[in-house]
């Protein structure tokens, strides 16, 4: 049995806790490795290592820090195929989707390559008589990221690329379900020239999470996961005086107007609802057709499209998606399908009971479609995080607008229409953080910023882009006056002004 170790101080470090978590191959359902789970003392040792490494890293000029990112980008592109295959073997998503996972993270690395420009401050000459004022952005020190299983490459790179480029050292606590790729990313950062200890990877469970949240040396924490845990991380982290950005769950809606391009909409829904087996916080698990005619037309087109989806093993190039991450998650998804039936929704396509020949123990769930789902249904109110598409019918655009606006989650939403005025009004008024107009998965590009509203995000800072730079730095403002050589004594006991 292969053991997955911590990566601390530039080297693989065997854990001492004696505690492990199993790492499965979702395609076979078999345990393929086990990952170390750190003790509080092991996490504290890694933090101490990060503190020491950051002292010299912060003194490296931004251009040289950017060169590490440039080289890291080259190495990722060199090893793309191997990384994608490793990712798929632990997560279950098809290899093509794993490459997309890596690429979207790499785009934030490319953004971080421009860090010298992003760290520039402001300067005002002559703000007062002989007085100049300037500002500078400085790193926080040690920062940390706690990342989920569904994007084991992208989300760590969203966090550590910006944090490290800003001059911080970074503690990464990845998901214990698919931990190998995060370790490999740290190894490639070392190969790219990052000094030892600037990026440490420590595996663990709640013990490790709490150690991160309680450690005074860690100044900021980024988190992505379920909303309940996001709220916990935010509350405990901020109580300890840290900056915290905590991204939670989602229930993204796709509103389909009567004038939508139906063929394109169906194609978009297939990828957005069922890609990666629905294990995306930006998936589109709810479709809202406006008007009975639109709903009936949409349903008629959805059924054959769903039935044509191919579910297969991760390395099957013909498969649209692969297994879900674990047996427990498969059971949870199927329980939500049963819940929807018991609540009175119409199960049009039932994806339960899917078995692949030769992979009978794999964690496969077929695509499901519900119609006549009601807003009060628990299965609608909660995040299923699987290949289940729910149709909630609306009579008007106003009624459709209320559904995502009044939902507990506010991560992403999309509208499909040819009507510019309707799209503009929808985007302006919907109470959701990220909006797509004829774009089913509105994940912003790397030089913008990612973040939801309501229970989809806790804290006042989004991920990556300029907001990421602000999150991982603190601003210092200097007001200076240089003597002219003439002795002038001008004591004042009132607050200085520029009068």
Catalytic residues: 281
**CA separation for the pair 426, 405 (Å, rounded):** 10
Give bridge partners of residue 134 from the DSSP assignment: 123, 478
CA distances from 431 to 67, 266, 382, 389, 396 (A): 40, 25, 17, 21, 17
Kindly list the strands in the beta sheet with 169-173, ordered across the sheet, starting from the edge strand earlier in the chain.
11-13, 6-8, 199-201, 169-173, 142-146, 218-224, 243-247, 457-458
Greatest alpha-carbon span in the chain? 91
Beta carbons of 35 and 1 less than 8 angstroms apart: no
Please give the sequence-ordered ranges of beta strands (E in DSSP) within 56-198, or none if there are none.
123-128, 131-139, 142-146, 169-173
CB distance 449 to 468 below 8 Å: yes
Q: 407 forms bridges with which residues in the sheet?
A: none
State the Cα–Cα distance between residues 250 and 412, nearest whole angstrom. 7
Q: How far apart are CA 446 and CA 288, in angstroms?
A: 29
Q: How far apart are CA 213 and CA 233, in angstroms?
A: 7
Query: In the block, which residue shows the tokens 């294990």?
Result: 279
* CA separation for the pair 245, 233 (Å, rounded): 9
Q: Rounded to an integer, what distance in angstroms lies between the CA atom of residue 212 and that of residue 197?
A: 16
Helix (H) or strand (E) holding 2: strand 2-4
Tokens at 13, concatenated: 């470090």
| Alpha-carbon dihedral 108, 114, 116, 122, rounded to 10 degrees | -90
Q: Please state, in angstroms and rounded to a whole number, the distance separating the CA atoms of residues 339 and 389.
A: 14
Residue 359 is given by DSSP the state B
Tokens in use for 110?
């490319």
3-state secondary structure of 312: coil
The rounded distance, in Å, linking the Cα atoms of 279 and 424 is 29
CA angle at 47 for the pair 44 and 51, rounded to the nearest 5°: 140
Angle at CA of residue 147, ends 32 and 170, nearest 5°: 110
């Amino acid at each position: 049995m292969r053991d997955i170790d911590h990566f601390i101080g530039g080297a693989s470090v065997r854990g001492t806790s004696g505690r492990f978590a199993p790492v499965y191959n979702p395609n076979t359902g078999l345990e393929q490795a086990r990952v170390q789970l750190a003790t509080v003392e092991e996490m504290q040792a890694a933090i101490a290592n990060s503190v020491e490494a950051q002292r010299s890293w912060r003194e490296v000029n931004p251009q040289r820090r950017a060169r590490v990112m440039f080289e890291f980008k080259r190495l990722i592109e060199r090893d793309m195929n191997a990384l994608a295959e490793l990712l798929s073997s632990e997560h279950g998503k098809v290899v093509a989707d794993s490459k997309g996972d890596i690429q979207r993270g790499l785009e934030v690395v490319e953004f971080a390559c421009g860090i010298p420009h992003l760290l520039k401050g402001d300067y005002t000459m002559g703000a007062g008589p002989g007085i100049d004022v300037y500002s500078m952005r400085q790193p926080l020190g040690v920062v940390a990221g706690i990342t989920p299983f569904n994007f084991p490459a992208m989300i760590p790179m969203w966090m550590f690329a910006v944090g490290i480029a800003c001059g911080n050292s970074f503690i990464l606590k990845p998901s214990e379900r698919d931990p190998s790729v995060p370790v490999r990313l740290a190894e490639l950062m070392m190969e790219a020239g990052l000094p030892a200890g600037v990026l440490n990877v420590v595996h663990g469970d709640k013990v490790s999470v709490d150690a991160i949240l309680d450690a005074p040396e860690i100044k900021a924490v980024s988190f992505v996961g379920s909303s309940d845990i996001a709220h916990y991380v935010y509350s405990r982290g901020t109580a300890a005086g840290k900056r915290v950005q905590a991204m939670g769950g989602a229930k993204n809606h796709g509103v389909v107007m009567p004038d939508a391009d139906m063929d394109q909409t169906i194609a978009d829904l297939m990828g957005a609802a069922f890609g990666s087996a629905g294990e995306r916080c930006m998936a589109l698990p709810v479709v809202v057709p406006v008007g009975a005619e639109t709903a009936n037309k949409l349903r008629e087109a959805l059924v054959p499209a769903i039935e044509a989806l191919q579910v297969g093993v991760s390395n099957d190039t013909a498969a649209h998606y692969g297994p879900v991450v674990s047996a427990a998650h498969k059971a949870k998804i199927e329980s939500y399908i049963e819940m929807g039936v018991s609540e009175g929704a119409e199960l049009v396509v039932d994806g339960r009971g899917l078995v692949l020949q030769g992979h009978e123990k794999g964690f496969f769930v077929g695509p499901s479609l519900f119609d006549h789902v009601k807003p009060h249904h628990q299965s609608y109110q909660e995040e299923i995080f699987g290949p289940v598409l729910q149709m909630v019918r609306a009579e008007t655009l106003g009624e459709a607008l209320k559904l995502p606006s009044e939902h507990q989650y506010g991560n992403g939403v999309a509208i499909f229409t040819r009507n510019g005025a309707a799209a503009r009004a929808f985007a302006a008024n919907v109470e959701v953080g990220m909006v797509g107009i004829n774009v089913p998965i509105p994940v912003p590009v790397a030089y913008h910023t990612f973040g939801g509203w309501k229970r989809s995000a806790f804290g006042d800072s989004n991920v990556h882009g300029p907001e990421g730079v602000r999150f991982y730095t603190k601003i210092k403002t200097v007001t200076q006056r240089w003597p002219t050589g003439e002795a002038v004594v001008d004591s004042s006991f009132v607050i200085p002004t520029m009068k």
